[in-house]
């Protein structure tokens, strides 16, 4: 084969490819159109009509945005917590973060299962969430916990409403996810958080001491 013929049959190297790499060269730097725009549905044979799927996707994306925000708030407070309860809350906040992360994945996958597109990027979440944005700096522990409890309550209220709507529309899968996973996880976390804000003494039973003093008793050394 002549040099001219060999040159004419050689395949040109794509951008970013080595001429000698052959089939082992990764085909990176590829760009193209979205295969499904946000806000649209693909049809899945789930036995649900498009209206029901669209309503559930919209509701789930709202819960998803708020859950992602709550999850990230837990990580923020995990890093920034301070004071006498640092160790306990440092661990608790991270445990709750991991549980919220599991919810994020379950909610997002349900959206995709219904044929929708789940929110994913931080700026899209920030534009959608209803959870108030905390300050960048460090706050005292009671304020951190109060912020988390307020976010939990917001999510619980909207999730119960969305769960009822999904049940009425016949979307039992979405209803089950919202009730069995989102509501129950958030309720449990609320309990664990709220108990940290009960104002009780750490060393002495002040209520019992007050009764003893009123009865003429003497305080123990």
CA nearest neighbour of 134 among 87, 72, 88: 72
8 A C-beta contact, residue 114 and residue 53: yes
Residue 205: the pLDDT is 85
Residue 65: the pLDDT is 98
pLDDT digit string (tens) for 60-104?
Answer: 999 999 999 999 999 999 999 999 999 999 999 999 999 999 999
Residue 10: the pLDDT is 47
pTM: 0.84
Distances (CA, A) of 175 to 96, 167, 169, 180, 210: 22, 6, 10, 8, 51
Percent of the chain with pLDDT over 70: 85
Task: Flag whether pLDDT at 26 surpasses 70.
Answer: yes
Question: Which fold is adopted by the domain 50-197?
Answer: Ferritin (1.20.1260)
pLDDT digit string (tens) for 198-219?
Answer: 999 888 887 766 555 665 545 4
Task: Flag whether pLDDT at 2 surpasses 80.
Answer: no
Residue 203: the pLDDT is 87
Q: Is 127 exposed, middle or buried (0-12, 13-18, 19+ CB in 10 A)?
A: exposed
More confident residue, 13 or 101: 101
Rounded to the nearest integer, the mean pLDDT of the chain is: 90
């Amino acid at each position: 084969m002549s040099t001219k013929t060999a040159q004419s049959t050689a395949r040109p190297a794509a951008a970013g490819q080595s001429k000698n790499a052959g089939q082992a060269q990764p085909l990176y730097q590829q760009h193209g159109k979205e295969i499904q725009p946000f806000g649209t549905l693909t049809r899945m044979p789930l036995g649900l009509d498009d209206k029901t799927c669209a309503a559930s996707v919209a509701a789930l994306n709202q819960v998803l945005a708020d859950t992602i925000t709550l999850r990230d708030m837990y990580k923020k407070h995990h890093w920034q917590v301070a004071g006498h309860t640092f160790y306990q809350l440092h661990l608790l906040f991270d445990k709750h973060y991991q549980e919220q992360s599991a919810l994020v994945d379950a909610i997002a996958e349900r959206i995709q299962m219904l044929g929708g597109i789940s929110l994913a990027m931080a700026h899209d979440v920030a534009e959608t969430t209803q959870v108030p944005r905390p300050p960048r700096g460090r706050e005292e522990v009671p304020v951190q916990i109060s912020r988390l409890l307020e976010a939990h309550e917001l999510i619980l209220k909207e999730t119960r409403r969305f769960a009822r709507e999904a049940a009425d529309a016949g979307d039992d899968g979405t209803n089950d996810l919202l009730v069995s996973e989102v509501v129950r996880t958030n309720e449990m976390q609320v309990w664990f958080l709220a108990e940290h804000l009960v104002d009780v003494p750490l060393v002495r039973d002040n209520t019992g001491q007050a009764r003893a003093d009123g009865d003429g008793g003497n305080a123990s050394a």
